[in-house]
């Protein structure tokens, strides 16, 4: 509770103390910084340098421009894909980029205490978790260990509503659905994030990374 109280108090002040220009000045500026970084990455013109001096400068604090909910997949690395330096992105990682209570609490901290201006739910093509959800949509109880608990959160509604006649399209549609679903869940399940979104201090978007090109495409409305 103490952390959340601190987060709530800090959010109240952070909204008024981020008047500088740059990617932390507004949600729109944060999203622009991410998309510009992705363009550099796709063009093989990334500029972020993680030097020892830059690392040392982050010892006392960090001021991320955005929080990213990414899949645990080893091919999904937001700092690389968005060409951002160490300290620039606050990361929540879970297979299938699903929204969990722990992710929500982490992002409330990122927004309320650290002043992040954007949240991105980052899906990706060829997602093993989504592919598993499609394959096991009627039989997730056959999966080992704790996997059914995770996969069930992707199955409904994103795997059930896809056309099984076209595997590639089916996977793509389910990945988009699963990422977009995360936006609504964050807003519905966090009063703090919903309030920040309502007042314009925060934007929450979803999108999908194409593993082949590296391009990140916004999929949420």
Q: Which stretch binds Zn ion (CB under 5 A): 72-80, 135-143, 152-160, 203-211?
A: 72-80
Q: Which stretch binds Zn ion (CB under 5 A): 30-38, 73-81, 142-150, 201-209?
A: 73-81
C-beta of 129 vs 158, nearer to Zn ion: 129
Q: How far is the CB of 145 from Zn ion (least distance, A)?
A: 17
Between residue 8 and residue 47, which ones bind Zn ion under the rule CB under 5 A? none
C-beta of 103 vs 129, nearer to Zn ion: 129
27: phi > 0 → left, psi -120 to 50 → alpha, else beta; which? alpha
C-beta of 71 vs 176, nearer to Zn ion: 71
22: phi > 0 → left, psi -120 to 50 → alpha, else beta; which? left
Residues 211 and 221: their CA atoms lie apart, in Å, by 22
Q: Is 127 in the site for Zn ion (CB under 5 A)?
A: yes
Q: How far is the CB of 171 from Zn ion (least distance, A)?
A: 11
Residue 133's alpha-carbon distances to 94, 99, 119, 159, in angstroms, are: 15, 16, 24, 6
Residues 43 and 105: their CA atoms lie apart, in Å, by 35
C-beta of 71 vs 192, nearer to Zn ion: 71
Q: Six-digit token pair at 90?
A: 């606050």
Between residue 166 and residue 205, which ones bind Zn ion under the rule CB under 5 A? none
Q: How far is the CB of 96 from Zn ion (least distance, A)?
A: 6
C-beta of 30 vs 174, nearer to Zn ion: 174
C-beta of 48 vs 217, nearer to Zn ion: 217
Q: Which of 73, 108, 171, 173 binds Zn ion (CB under 5 A)?
A: 73
Instruction: Give the residues lining the site for Zn ion (CB under 5 A).
Output: 71, 73, 127, 129
């Amino acid at each position: 509770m103490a952390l959340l109280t601190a987060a709530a108090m800090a959010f109240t002040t952070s909204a008024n103390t981020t008047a500088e220009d740059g990617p932390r000045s507004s949600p729109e500026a944060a999203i622009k910084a991410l998309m510009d970084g992705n363009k550099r990455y796709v063009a093989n013109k990334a500029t972020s340098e993680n030097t020892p001096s830059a690392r040392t400068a982050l010892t006392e604090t960090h001021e991320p421009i955005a929080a990213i909910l990414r899949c645990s997949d080893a091919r999904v690395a937001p700092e690389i894909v968005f060409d951002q330096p160490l300290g620039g992105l606050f990361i929540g990682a879970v297979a299938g980029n699903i929204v969990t209570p722990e992710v929500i609490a982490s992002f409330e901290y990122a927004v309320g205490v650290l002043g992040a201006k954007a949240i991105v739910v980052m899906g990706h093509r060829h997602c093993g978790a989504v592919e598993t959800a499609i394959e096991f949509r009627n039989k997730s109880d056959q999966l080992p260990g704790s996997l059914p608990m995770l996969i069930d959160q992707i199955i409904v509604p994103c795997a059930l509503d896809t056309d099984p006649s076209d595997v590639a399209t089916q996977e793509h549609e389910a990945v988009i659905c699963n990422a977009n679903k995360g936006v609504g869940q964050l807003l519905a399940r966090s009063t703090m994030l919903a309030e920040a979104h309502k007042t314009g201090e925060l934007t929450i978007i979803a999108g999908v990374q194409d593993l082949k090109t590296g391009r990140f495409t916004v999929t949420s409305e």
